[in-house]
Structure 1
Amino acid sequence: MGIVEGLLNRVVRRGVLTVRYADGSERRFGRPDPAFDDVTVRFADSGVPGAIARDLRLGAAEAFMDGRLIIEQGDILALLTLMRGNAPWSKSTALKIPNPLRRAVSRTSGRLSRLNWQRRSRRNVAHHYDLGNDFYRLFLDPDLQYSCAYFTDPRNSLERAQEDKKAHIAAKLALKPGQRVLDIGCGWGGMALYLHRTAGVEVLGITLSEEQLAVARERAKAAGVADQVRFELTDYRQLTGRFDRIVSVGMFEHVGPPHYREFFRTCHNLLAENGVMLLHTIGRFGGPNVTDAFVRKYIFPGGYIPALSEIVAASEKNNLIIADIEMLRLHYALTGRHWYRRTVENREAIVAMYDERFYRMWLFYLAGVIVTFEHGGMGNYQIQYVRDRHALPLTRDYMGQAEERLRAGPPPAP
């Protein structure tokens, strides 16, 4: 029995996975279970099992991308759900073939890839975020929120959940008209424009993506608020001055552990003495680990998902007080399901923009997001910081009151 078959025998217990080999033979793993859809895959050539055995996740991903691992029943989401759902993080079952040498090499290369000097940071951001704004419009909400939404009801639309995410964050910032706000990693400008529109604050948004910058500036100009909501192509380490509030959503994943203390030192120096900061980031359960090889190679070069302990250790050394921590456990899985469905619906447009291999790569990425947040070891942290313990009200009641008021406000701008 080969390595891949041995692994599948150990892992696939619930649900049925059928594997068809290039020589026409077939193997069946698992047993029927209503929690999982049956999946059938075909290996197009005899080299596929070896490619998967050499590097389980990356090998399987590349075989799928190249059309060598063909899913004949189900889809890539069903396959990854079957695999990850049989080995959830909570049961501490790892989908890894033991190989100490490869693990050591992976750790070393992972550490090197997380060194995000300013020039490399810009290059890494461009790799992902400068794919083209038309591409992101195919699967994001109209406000182009490319981060975990907030589902007050799992049945809510993506548009409603993203609007509620902005209200949830704005409430934690305890904004007052006229304050200066810094948005680190502003994306296409949606959060900055929302904060100005709902709270009357002045916002500076910074990004390292030229594609995002162009759209953000265009949106501010169209709204007639370019003098109050400004956007710059700059690294956070280049900023000076003081801000009453700092918000950063979905950017910390690109900082890299070697730069965590520098990030929080910079934020401390930029934050007013009575200021408030809100950090929204994907976070890993348990302790520090390495970035998945597929994600590191194809999706987020230089990216790293931090453990809460890594964030706290870096921020506490820079005299930032953690005023509140919230874990969003399943919200990104719900978000990812909307993105996945819209990507499938727009297959023809994506293939026309890029090619079939890119489309399959993106599907694998989004399917991986969903199963990681449903069964794996990741969630989203929202961490609120202050420099002065007196900067916020005594209890958290103000958050709920502000959020209720914001959610009851006028509908989002078109």
Structure 2
Amino acid sequence: MKYFFFLILKKFILYGKLDIEIGNDPVKSIVGQLDGPNIHIQILNLKHLFLIVRSPELSFGELYMNKELKIKKGNLEDLMKFLMLNYNSWQSTNFGKIRKYLNDLKNFFSTFNPIKKAKRNAAHHYDLNDDLFESFLDKRRQYSCGFFYSKNESLEDAQINKVSRLVAKLQINKGNTVLDIGCGWGGLGLSIYNCNPSTRITGITLSEKQHIYFNQLIKKNKLTGKVECLLKDYRELDNEYDRIVSVGMLEHVGHHNFEKFFQFIENHLKPKGVAVIHSIGRYGLPAHTNPWLEKYIFPGGYLPTFSQMTHAIEKTSLKITDIEVMRLHYAETLKKWREKFFKNKSFLPKTYDEKFSRMWEFYLLASEYFFRSGGGMVFQFQLAKDQEVVPLDRKYISSLEKKYSKLLKQKEFTYILN
């Protein structure tokens, strides 16, 4: 049986070398045809080898979380590089194709996200303790990709760049009403108001903790009546808005609801309105969500492809007025988060034990190397009903971004509750 498992595993590995110990058995080596990381792991028993062969996407993360996988040569980052390099070769085997079909089928049903389920999914992740998010995010709690002009830029500066760029693309005019779908803890909404004090901002979230936090920030900054945060699903809204922005929320919509989401934008955006949608995307063909991430981190999550987005938009009267693809910016953001998390994790409450810490480490590294390996990117779609509401060229984006970035660094709201 052991020989059979190793025979299957050998077909998975095209890059690098994998040394495996099962308990106290002699080391078994599998060498790929191409250069790659040299990894030595130890697992407890034959059952764990079976789990790896059956579903490596799920099992490596679970075994690492539970300390049932020990990395004896290299580290978790080296293992992640190894797994990402060999992912496509595993998918191309008959065993991988069967597993992909089963994962696709499961994901088809798990990403139906009616309102009640969407609220449960949001609570699973975003209602974790505030101390956790403070341990690795910037002060605005921007839980999405920053924009780096240099890898040496700080996390704070990269997030100011991102926020300023988004606000520039919104082309906000005096007195505009702005809807922020999936507003998080309010960092973007407050920044939009900071750049355009005559606007009226409405943020919506499904997370009770985010809702409480944002409303406390509104009160602390004396913005009641100017900025509001509602505990609502976008499908529960009736009003029209001059501007609509959504950052990092589309991944939670589910592919069954993409057309409905953009129909909502169409129906609730005023005739001269502008919308900007910022989302993680997947290169290549549509595919299932990573089973480990779906189980432990983002239940109901799904990363769209470019074609899925354009297909859904084409079903509406909305016009795509600008597209930007951000390739490695999220990898750099995740690296900054990971470094900050390691620096601060010892200060987290005891409820976040070693198993949770190992899970969070695996999540941040797996996500980082998803982008570094060319599996994903971030795209920003600028949408409008009237193609003349935005300038002819893109010069205005960099010009306004510089203006807003300078403003956000000079005139600060309180973003942290202490």
TM-score range, shorter-chain basis?
A: over 0.9
- Secondary structure of the residue aligned to 1:272 is strand
- Tell me if structure 2 keeps the 8 A contact 1:188–1:216: yes
Q: Is residue 43 from structure 1 mapped to residue 70 from structure 2 by the alignment?
A: no
Q: Which residue of 1 aligns with 2:375?
A: 377
Equivalents in 1 of 2:75, 2:344: separation in Å? Answer: 16
Going from structure 1 to structure 2, the CA distance change for 1:211 and 1:145 (only over 3 Å counts) comes to: same
SS at match of 2:150: coil
Match of 1:114 among 108, 111, 115: 111
1:11 counterpart = 2:23: no
Aligned counterpart, 2:165: 168
TM-superposed deviation, 1:62: 1.1
Deviates more, 1:182-191 or 1:383-392: 383-392
The structure-2 alpha-carbon separation of the partners of 1:405 and 1:159, relative to structure 1 and needing over 3 Å to count, comes to: same
When residues 3 and 286 of structure 1 are mapped into structure 2, their CA distance, relative to the original with a 3 A threshold, is same
Q: How many residues align?
A: 408
Cα distance, 1:85 vs structure 2: 3.5
CA 1:18–1:93: 2 relative to 1, 3 Å = closer
Q: Does 1:62 align with 2:62?
A: yes
- Aligned residue runs from structure 1 range 80-229, under 5 A: 80-85=80-85, 93-95=89-91, 98-99=94-95, 100-200=97-197, 201-229=199-227
Structure-1 separation of matches of 2:38 and 2:102: 35
CA contact 2:148–2:158 (8 Å) conserved in 1: yes
What TM-score results when the alignment is normalised by the length of structure 1? 0.93
Secondary structure in structure 2 of the residue aligned to 1:72:
strand
Q: 1:277 aligns with which of 275, 278, 289?
A: 275
Counterpart-to-counterpart distance in 2, 1:40 and 1:277: 49
* Equivalent position SS for 2:260: helix
Q: Aligned residue for 1:293?
A: 291
The 1:298–1:330 alpha-carbon spacing in structure 2 relative to 1, beyond 3 Å, is same
State the distance in 2 between where 1:106 and 1:12 align.
23
* Uncovered stretches (5+) of structure 1, i.e. residues with no partner: none
Distance in 2 (alpha carbons) for counterparts of 1:8 and 1:163 = 46
Tell me if the contact between 1:12 and 1:29 (Cα under 8 Å) persists in the aligned partners.
Answer: no
Contact 1:350 1:359 in 2 (8 A): no
* Candidates 329, 332, 343, aligned match of 1:331: 329
Q: Is the 8 A contact 1:332 1:370 kept in 2?
A: yes
Q: Secondary structure at the match of 1:319?
A: coil
Alpha-carbon contact 2:146-2:159 (below 8 Å) kept: yes
Please report how far the alpha carbon of residue 151 of structure 1 lies from its aligned counterpart in structure 2 after TM superposition. Answer: 0.6
Judging changes above 3 Å, is the alpha-carbon distance between structure 1 residues 404 and 347 closer, same or farther for their aligned structure 2 residues?
Answer: closer
Partner in structure 2 of residue 268 of structure 1: 266
Post-superposition Cα deviations, 1:294-331, rounded to whole Å, max 9, x if no partner, equal 11111111110001111111111111100011110001
TM-score by length of 2: 0.92
**Counterpart residue number, 2:27:** 26
Deviations 1:76-119 (A, max 9, x none): 222111231356xxxx6455653354433322211111100011
Q: Specify the alignment match of 1:306 in structure 2.
A: 304
Secondary structure of 1:203's aligned partner: strand
Assess, with a 3 A threshold, how the Cα gap between structure 1 residues 302 and 54 changes in structure 2: closer, same or farther: same
Name the CA distance, whole Å, in 1 between partners of 2:6 and 2:123: 36
The CA RMSD over aligned residues, in Å, is 2.2
One-letter code of the match for 2:9?
L
**Which residue of the other structure, out of 372, 385, 388, is the alignment partner of 1:387?**
385
Q: Which moved more, 1:279-288 or 1:404-413?
A: 404-413
> Contact 1:84 / 1:376 at 8 angstroms: preserved in 2?
no
User: 3-state DSSP class of the match of 2:286?
Assistant: coil
Matches within 5 A, 1:228-267: 228-267=226-265
Q: Measure, in 1, the Cα distance between the counterparts of 2:239 and 2:189.
A: 18
Deviation by residue 1:108-166 (Cα, 9 ceiling, x = unmatched): 21111110001111011101111121111111111111011111111111111011110
**Partner SS, residue 15 of structure 2:** coil
Q: Give the direction of change, closer, same or farther, for the CA distance of 1:45–1:351 in structure 2 (3 Å limit).
A: farther
Distance 1:345 1:29, change over 3 A: farther
Give 1:386's aligned amino acid: A
Amino acid at match of 1:356: E
Q: How far 1:212 sits from its partner (Å)? A: 0.6
